[in-house]
Amino acid sequence: MPGTRFPRHARLLLPREFDAVFQSGRRERGRFFVCVVAAGACARARIGFAVGKKHLPAAHDRNLVKRLARESFRARRERMPAVDLVLSPGREVSRGDRVLLRRDLDALFDRVIAGPIPVSASVRTPTPVGGEESPR
């Protein structure tokens, strides 16, 4: 499928990028995952993963979750607004099989596509000094 690659510029890589999403984003919850969505710093959607050992102690399970999430994100990236996402597994993730996990990811990303686009602090109109608008 065209546009289904997962290039480097489609990923959140730096800790400050993750911090920005966690500080200004809104949370979308699925049965197995939590996705933090913030206004993007780039023209297209980007994703990062926060998949720790707390809910998935085995490395092969963490890798499976990330692989499923990348596949679902790649399939929907072209339709997503310019947002930055951080995806984390929830407590229930170890109880889901591949089909249930993928279904939950697809539904979560579809909600991001259909939902309101978050406004970043840098895009908001600054309030003039004194708190009032100046007359023109």
- Give the Å distances, CA to CA, from 7 to 42, 62, 107, 131: 14, 20, 23, 44
110: in domain: yes
Q: Each residue of 13-32: pLDDT tens digit?
A: 999 999 999 999 999 999 99
Counting the structural domains of the chain, the total is 1
Beta strands 46-49 and 83-89: pairing type? parallel
Query: CATH number, domain at 110?
Result: 3.30.230.10
List, in order, residues 6 or more apart from 134 with CB less than 8 Å away: 128
List, in order, residues 6 or more apart from 62 with CB less than 8 Å away: 51, 52, 53, 56
Q: Each residue of 30-54: pLDDT tens digit?
A: 999 999 999 988 889 999 999 989 8
According to the model, what pLDDT value does residue 50 have?
94
| pLDDT above 80 (res 126) | no
126: in domain: no
According to the model, what pLDDT value does residue 6 have?
78
According to the model, what pLDDT value does residue 136 have?
43
Of 36, 31, 68, 29, the C-alpha closest to 50 is 36
Domain of residue 105, residue span? 10-114
39: in domain: yes
Beta carbons within 10 angstroms of residue 25's beta carbon: 19
